[in-house]
Amino acid sequence: MTDLKAHEALKAELLDVALEAARRAGTFLRDGRPDDLGVAATKSSAVDVVTEMDIASEKLITGFLAERRPADGVLGEEGASSEGSSGVQWVIDPIDGTVNYLYGRPDWSVSIAARKDGETLVGVVHAPMRGETYRAVLGEGAFVNDRPARVRPAPPFAEALVGTGFGYLTERRVRQAEVARHLIPQVRDIRRGGSAAIDLCDVAVGRLNAYYERGLNPWDFAAGDLVAREAGALTGGRPGEALSGELAVAAPPGLFETLQGLLDDLGAWHD
């Protein structure tokens, strides 16, 4: 098998594994959510909850990955971490939008990405309560269920519907609110959904014109970033920099540059 064919076969296998892992976790989370769902621990603050189901979902996913691809590495939100020997690393958010899930709101997802030598090859965001699975393979486009996903063409900046999110630490939230205060009068409106992965996918399918946020972790954006890019969005951080925890911006060409520049001027990249 040629190197190219082997690479294509690897991407196809990784997509199949990611879809099945996300489906299993999503079904478990949707059907198994207890009425008395409790908080198992806290992370950065008392507001940032870790539910019992979050931990159980990650165990389900990592167990499945260990069966199907035991040589791969794993990076998971709830502590799963292993180097692996294959060069492939799975980046997992077992529930992106944990607070939404805790409160019984529908905007939560299972986010699974596969990287090879640092490059994201496959991204899957499964949103059970929406009945939608967003998927992308590097160089092969993005899909929502079986339909191609494509960003909306860039509107005038004043007509843009922009998604964002807020951190859990008080100091960061205060700064993020100040950025939003300056941005709101300049755009159509702002939405705060509570799942970064879904927000990125909403850009991909045209439900948002753009999205930005500070303070994301790799598991928050790894899959959604690929879905957005394969749907035609540009993604990045500060001008000239890649999307990162410092700042994440996603929008179609023509809107991305304006939003990114304004966010940089507003200091959205620092607390």
pLDDT band, residue 25 (cuts 50/70/90)? very high
- Residues 9, 84, single domain; the answer is yes
Closest CA to 151 of 85, 38, 217, 227: 227
Residue 189 annotated in ligand binding: no
Per-residue pLDDT band at 48 (split at 50, 70, 90): low
Same domain, 182 and 102: no
Q: With CA atoms as reference, report the closest residue to 233 among 135, 175, 137, 154.
A: 154
For residue 46, is pLDDT > 70?
Answer: no
Indicate if the pLDDT at residue 47 is higher than 60. Answer: no
Q: How many C-beta atoms surround the C-beta of residue 260 within 10 A?
A: 25
Mean pLDDT of the chain: 94
**Which CATH number belongs to the domain containing residue 185 in this structure?**
3.40.190.80
- % of the chain with per-residue pLDDT over 70: 97
Q: Give the integer Cα–Cα distance in Å for 126 and 135.
A: 8
Specify whether the CB–CB gap between 68 and 93 falls below 8 A. Answer: no
**Is 77 marked as a binding-site residue?**
yes
Q: Report the predicted TM-score, pTM, of the whole model to 2 decimal places.
A: 0.95
The answer to whether residue 271 is domain-embedded is no
The answer to whether residue 201 sits within a structural domain is yes
Same domain? For 40 and 135 the reply is: yes
Q: Is the pLDDT of residue 11 over 70?
A: yes
Determine, yes or no, domain membership for 76.
Answer: yes
Q: Which two tokens stand for residue 78?
A: 């709830």
Regarding whether 90 and 168 lie in a shared domain, the answer is: no
- Coil, helix or strand at residue 161: strand
Residues 125, 67, single domain; the answer is yes
Domain C-terminal end among 104, 122, 148: 148
Assess whether 132 and 8 both reside in one domain: yes
pLDDT in tens, 146-204: 999 999 999 999 999 999 999 988 999 999 999 999 999 999 999 999 999 999 999 99
- At residue 52, the pLDDT reads 87
Q: Name the domain count of the chain.
A: 2
If asked whether residues 247 and 126 sit together in one domain, one would say no
Q: Which pLDDT band holds residue 7 (cuts at 50, 70, 90)?
A: very high
For residues 50 and 92, membership in a common domain is answered with yes
Closest CA to 167 of 81, 243, 255, 248: 248
| pLDDT of residue 1 exceeding 70 | no
Whether 184 has a binding-site annotation, put simply, is no
93 is in an annotated binding site: yes
Q: 101 and 118: one domain?
A: yes
* Residue-wise DSSP of 183-219: HGGGSSEEEE-S-HHHHHHHHHHTS-SEEEESS--HH
Angle at 203 between CA 61 and CA 78, to 5 degrees: 25
The stretch 203-213 carries a mean pLDDT of 98
- The domain that holds 43 is classified in CATH as 3.30.540.10
pLDDT for 91: 98
Q: Which domain holds residue 219?
A: 157-266
Q: Are 141 and 188 found together in one domain?
A: no
